[in-house]
Structure 1
Amino acid sequence: MTGIVISDLTVGYGGPPVLDRVGLEVRPGTTTAVLGPSGSGKTTLLRALAGFVRPSGGTIQVGDKVLTSAQTMVAPEQRGIGYVRQDGALFPHLDVTGNILFGLPRAERRRATQVGPLLELVGLSPDLARRRPDQLSGGQQQRVALARALAREPDVVLLDEPFSSLDTALRASTREATLTALAARGATTVLVTHDQAEALSFADQVAVMFDGRFAQIGGPAEVYAAPATPEVGSFLGDTMLFTGQAAGPIVDCDLGVLTLAEPATGEVLVMVRPEQLVLEEPNGALTAHVVSVAYHGPDAMVRLSLPNSSTQLIARVPGHRVPHPNDLVGLTVPHPVLSFPGRS
């Protein structure tokens, strides 16, 4: 297995840097999801890893081999890296076998017997080997693209938003097949995505990128439950922010006196996620009126208003415990909440 180490990587296209002294380490055999809004530099990072663009500074090392530095620029085809694009980029005039074998050296393209095992590896039937791309579903096309990337037995696989064009059911099954195939090969993987749920469920490590820099790198549970900044927290999921006065382990804010995950003092910004709000019968606790309900099946998002306040809240509740608009409900926040230094 081979790891990746990126140090002080800077990439620009003639203007301000798209990547500004970026550093990232991906442990051998693990998956890192690079998550960020459009234009944050995610795809540029992947292209620099693949060798498609030349950085103006920094280094990229895969295993014990330096691929990019001030003195070195290894060609893409010599990097031992597989690349799967968003659209799969299959050749329409070739069948599945031809597409999978295309990236191999000419002398190895006759070994069609390896196509069946590769298709099975990505969760497809070998019976599809002679079909053209237009005879495959979107999910099947993406799995063929993955099989093509794995055919050369790369040390590293790069995935550039490969599931974004698929519908919900196909996305889940294709993602699961991809994870299984990558784990079977022991590949070190970097996934670029703007889908928060995908990053959190797919990867061992999540790297959140804004404006060409990483705002936070950590495990999925860490970056979601303990974001480094309010901006990271808000990007990873719905949040509510309240100004409060902290005194050690507690904070007083619009939701009453809450317990803090970490002690603080003075004015702070309190972050609460919708799933942290618990709705109860109104029994003397903080109360709110139900403004609207968005039912999703397994759960629902409930919009609430506090009495005598312009503050609006959002609570995520189980689908079998959905209140009705105009109901009066009690609110509690039973678990500790995060706070950030107050803003002047």
Structure 2
Amino acid sequence: MNALLTVDTISCGYEGERVIEDLSFALNEGDICCLLGPSGCGKTTVLRTIAGFINPEAGEIQLRGHTIASARHALPPEQRRVGMVFQDYALFPHLNVRDNLTFGLKGYSRREKERVCEELLQLVKLEDLGHRYPHELSGGQQQRVALARALAPEPELLLMDEPFSSLDVELRRALALEVRAILKERGITAIMVTHDQSEAFAMADRIGVLYQGQLQQWDTPFNLYHEPATRFVANFIGQGVFLAGYLVDRHTVRTELGDIVGNRCYEWVENTPVEFLLRPDDVIHDDSSDKKAEVVAKIFAGTATLYTLQLPTGSRVQSAFPSHHDYAIGDQVGIRIEADHLIVFRREEQTVGSANFALEAASSESSSNAL
């Protein structure tokens, strides 16, 4: 499949200071992607460069195979067929919903404007609110108007900059799913910027994780969670705790919780010190297990309770037990490990907690082999 959008090794920034360095990715037609990362990582800079508000200092951007921006030449924003939904919606307060929606339809006849307006009002479920002004709408309704206005000129690509950031948590999640359904219904290709993982997972087919101006991984939500390419991605996506261990063979890591066989083949030599990421869903409640941990904290979340568990070494892990299991702080619970996707990184320096276990275990293993 040919890519609708290709971003090829672009570098860009402000006033001579580089914010993005050699960034590349491609987006297929009809896909929704998200640029995800902490504040200041450069994700909004990427979006503004694609939109045409910033020119790249190196590299190029192509839309349907045509270069729309490079270090030598850049099309102005209005010629790119790229729509934009801003963080603050940018609705005109003196225009009603209908006039806001049709504002950008230059060259359309009155009848065409009315047709487009009716179609989009129905699409975003605001058929009866066309006469209202922005201040008479809720935040979610204003967001729908901003989306409809961006879709009105039928752009090749839709860009959304933190589109749900001003809404409360529950509305953000609901609206993210609703907007995704609208975009999929019309086959719209879109890029969203956010720092909220739940929004990214709800919206995107592909997610690009940015950190310090560089793309750490461009992948599906599933792979970002289960197969992170870098330690930053592993730590940033989802929840979990890193524990120390060492490599027994190319498939197995020895830890204070026993030997764990991974789903990958590691190229490091035997006894290489490593750290592995244990997700809450890797730690299973099992009363019959001889592995015990002490409950030191708990957060009730309805269908599950997130427990922080302290191991005999002093290391702590997290586990989500079904909520009908209710343990008190200080209780001892049995656990077993089911890490189908073992996430392991080489440990360059000793870490606290289970690092002592790894050193002692490695020493004992070597002594046993010598005997």
Q: TM-score normalized by structure 1?
A: 0.94
SS in 2 for 1:18: strand
- Note if contact 1:247-1:263 (Cα within 8 Å) is conserved in structure 2: no
Structure 2 residue identity aligned to 1:152: P
Equivalent residue number for residue 68 of structure 1: 69
Equivalent residue number for residue 333 of structure 2: 329
> Whole-Å Cα distance in 1 between the matches of residues 297 and 198 of structure 2?
24
- Note if contact 2:42-2:212 (Cα within 8 Å) is conserved in structure 1: yes
Deviations 1:261-291 (A, max 9, x none): 223342211111111111221x452111111
Equivalent residue number for residue 291 of structure 1: 296
- Between structure 1 and structure 2, the one with the greater Rg is 2
SS in 1 for 2:307: strand
SS in 2 for 1:190: strand
Once structures 1 and 2 are overlaid, which stretch shifts more, 319-328 or 227-236?
A: 319-328
1:232 aligned onto 2:233: yes
- Note if contact 2:158-2:191 (Cα within 8 Å) is conserved in structure 1: yes
> Whole-Å Cα distance in 2 between the matches of residues 57 and 335 of structure 1?
42
SS in 2 for 1:262: coil
> Whole-Å Cα distance in 2 between the matches of residues 10 and 166 of structure 1?
32
Change (3 A) 1:139 1:2: farther
Structure 1 residue identity aligned to 2:254: D
> Whole-Å Cα distance in 1 between the matches of residues 110 and 247 of structure 2?
67
1:126 aligned onto 2:127: yes
Equivalent residue number for residue 283 of structure 2: 277
Structure 1 residue identity aligned to 2:91: L
Deviations 1:67-97 (A, max 9, x none): 0023321010111011001121111111000
Residue 172 of structure 1: how far off its partner (Å) = 2.5
Equivalent residue number for residue 256 of structure 2: 254
Residue 65 of structure 1: how far off its partner (Å) = 1.7
Equivalent residue number for residue 355 of structure 2: none
Equivalent residue number for residue 163 of structure 1: 164
SS in 1 for 2:172: helix
Equivalent residue number for residue 103 of structure 2: 102
Equivalent residue number for residue 359 of structure 2: none
> Whole-Å Cα distance in 2 between the matches of residues 38 and 155 of structure 1?
28
Structure 2 residue identity aligned to 1:273: R
> Whole-Å Cα distance in 2 between the matches of residues 284 and 64 of structure 1?
58
> Whole-Å Cα distance in 2 between the matches of residues 272 and 82 of structure 1?
41
- Note if contact 1:9-1:22 (Cα within 8 Å) is conserved in structure 2: yes
Equivalent residue number for residue 338 of structure 1: 343
Change (3 A) 1:15 1:70: closer
Equivalent residue number for residue 14 of structure 1: 15
Equivalent residue number for residue 191 of structure 1: 192
The aligned length equals 341
Structure 2 residue identity aligned to 1:302: Y
> Whole-Å Cα distance in 1 between the matches of residues 84 and 131 of structure 2?
23
User: Among 266, 273, 290, which residue is 1:267 paired with?
Assistant: 273
> Whole-Å Cα distance in 1 between the matches of residues 290 and 304 of structure 2?
24
- Note if contact 2:93-2:135 (Cα within 8 Å) is conserved in structure 1: yes
Once structures 1 and 2 are overlaid, which stretch shifts more, 294-303 or 162-171?
A: 162-171
SS in 2 for 1:3: strand
> Whole-Å Cα distance in 2 between the matches of residues 40 and 219 of structure 1?
20
Residue 15 of structure 1: how far off its partner (Å) = 4.0
Deviations 1:230-282 (A, max 9, x none): 2111101112111111122221112222222223342211111111111221x
Structure 2 residue identity aligned to 1:299: A
> Whole-Å Cα distance in 1 between the matches of residues 263 and 286 of structure 2?
23
User: Among 307, 320, 326, which residue is 1:302 paired with?
Assistant: 307
Change (3 A) 1:106 1:332: same
Residue 106 of structure 1: how far off its partner (Å) = 5.2
Residue 109 of structure 1: how far off its partner (Å) = 5.9
Equivalent residue number for residue 369 of structure 2: none
- Note if contact 2:173-2:202 (Cα within 8 Å) is conserved in structure 1: no
Question: Identity over aligned residues, as a percent?
Answer: 37
- Note if contact 1:149-1:157 (Cα within 8 Å) is conserved in structure 2: yes
After superposition, the CA RMSD in angstroms is: 1.7
> Whole-Å Cα distance in 2 between the matches of residues 322 and 226 of structure 1?
32
Equivalent residue number for residue 321 of structure 2: 317
- Note if contact 2:55-2:70 (Cα within 8 Å) is conserved in structure 1: no
> Whole-Å Cα distance in 2 between the matches of residues 35 and 64 of structure 1?
25
Once structures 1 and 2 are overlaid, which stretch shifts more, 1-10 or 23-32?
A: 1-10
SS in 1 for 2:299: strand
Once structures 1 and 2 are overlaid, which stretch shifts more, 126-135 or 6-15?
A: 6-15
Structure 2 residue identity aligned to 1:130: H
Q: TM-score normalized by structure 2?
A: 0.88
